[in-house]
Amino acid sequence: MQLTEHFSKEEFERHGPVPQESLPLLTVFCQIILEPIRDKWGSLTITSGYRPPEQNAATGGVKNSYHQYDAEHVAADIMPSLPARPLDLVFDWIRKESGLPFDKVILECDKATGEPACIHLQYKDSPRRQAFTGQTHGTGAYTQVAVGPGLSPNTGLMEAAGK
């Protein structure tokens, strides 16, 4: 099932089927967050989308992870596809320059190497626009970092997408 021009539901189903009740918000997420990132940086790979509770626990996800989709929130871990873009540059653009209405964006780094491993994006209808850096899979604390101007916190994702 195609959600937007460049993103399909199947890309978010690596660990199980996306719950039906989350499809409207997942579609908005793709429209107003992932498509603009793709327009700027090229093709994206979804490395982790929906996770059932048992898969979320196995990967070190927090109990209330946005990867456990519902009608109120969704999340995805992304990597720019080839040609590869430095993750820290993409992360800095998302948080400082894009103005995108994300809830949280996290530059997750590999515990062993300290190198950027993926960008976690999470969304809900009333975004907080918070940014963090930290280690993947809940293996370390996150550090909050500054964000640039963006969508008013009082404007929800569904409203911004014209839904």
pLDDT grade, residue 153 (50/70/90)? very low
pLDDT grade, residue 163 (50/70/90)? very low
Residue 50 scores a pLDDT above 80? yes
pLDDT for the residue numbered 88: 93
Q: Report the top-level CATH class of 9-160.
A: alpha beta
User: 44: which 2 tokens?
Assistant: 């994206």
Summarised one tens digit per residue, pLDDT across range 56-94 is: 998 888 889 999 999 999 999 999 886 667 999 999 999
Q: Are strands 116-124 and 73-80 parallel, antiparallel or unpaired?
A: antiparallel
Q: How many CB atoms lie within 10 A of CB 137?
A: 13
pLDDT for the residue numbered 113: 87
What average pLDDT score do residues 24-53 get?
96
Cα–Cα nearest to 106, from 93, 128, 122: 122
Signed CA dihedral, 102, 146, 40, 160: sign only: positive
pLDDT for the residue numbered 137: 62
Residue 41 scores a pLDDT above 70? yes
Which of 70-74, 103-107, 133-137, 150-154 shows the lowest mean pLDDT across its residues? 150-154
Q: What percent of the chain shows pLDDT beyond 70? A: 88
Residue 11 scores a pLDDT above 90? yes
**Contact indicator for 149, 97 with CB cutoff of 8 Å:** no
What average pLDDT score do residues 13-26 get?
97
